[in-house]
Amino acid sequence: MLTRKQLELLLYIDSYLRQHGTAPSFEEMKKAVNLKSKSGIHRLVSALEERGFLRRLPHRARALEVVKMPASVRPVQDAPSHGFKPNVIEGRFGQPADDPRDQMPSESENVALPLYGRIAAGLPIEALRDETNTIDVPGSMISSGEYYALEVDGESMIEAGILDGDIAVIERTETAENGTIVVALVDDSEVTLKRIRRKGESIALEPANIDFETRIFGPGRVQVQGRLKGIMRDYG
């Protein structure tokens, strides 16, 4: 049985596919069903996949296919090209309309997060964005909020247990307490994963490897783009 949010999203995707021939973006889905973050959309899409209502088509951007519709939904003809009103819903649903579980995954479920690529000098996070490339992350690693994943490049944080090739799960934020490991954008051009320290108006970005030096920056040169929430590692 689908939650109301799950059904609302399924109907929106089905309507959008019939009108445009391609699936909506996650940003469009977020606005259509009135969620605050794309993490909620990833969770809804994954739930619909698990229940056999949606299927992702590999190696194609924005490639979703509606496999089936619930028995409680009648087919609609000539849906409007703008605006979305799920006025064909019949019957009752498993959870209330604003079930908080549509915003936050349970600890036993995986969530698909956007994987933006290797975190490397010379590329801001915005340049790494690719909503079509995702990675499944255990729900226990995240809570409410917006998240993304990055592949770690280099050995500057090995003494913090962060190795080259690890997948860093990042909570998107613009603030972080002293001592937090953050994704930092330096001079609007270089992205790095380091521990942040503030002293007065200066910011230090500390590595966790004695072979690397701490870098200190003046006011306005460093922007926090997220804080580390967890690390995933492939031992294969």
Bridging pattern class, strands 202-206 and 147-152: unpaired
Helix (H, G, I), strand (E, B) or coil at 221: coil
Q: Which helix (H) or strand (E) holds 228?
A: strand 222-232
Separation in Å, CA 224 to CA 139, 192, 197, 203: 24, 10, 12, 11
Copy the structure tokens of residue 214: 């701490």
Task: Give the active site residue among 194, 199, 202, 229.
Answer: 194
Active site (annotated) includes residue 194: yes
C-alpha–C-alpha distance, residues 20 and 168, integer Å: 35
Task: Give the active site residue among 15, 39, 46, 156.
Answer: 156
Residue positions annotated with a catalytic role = 156, 194
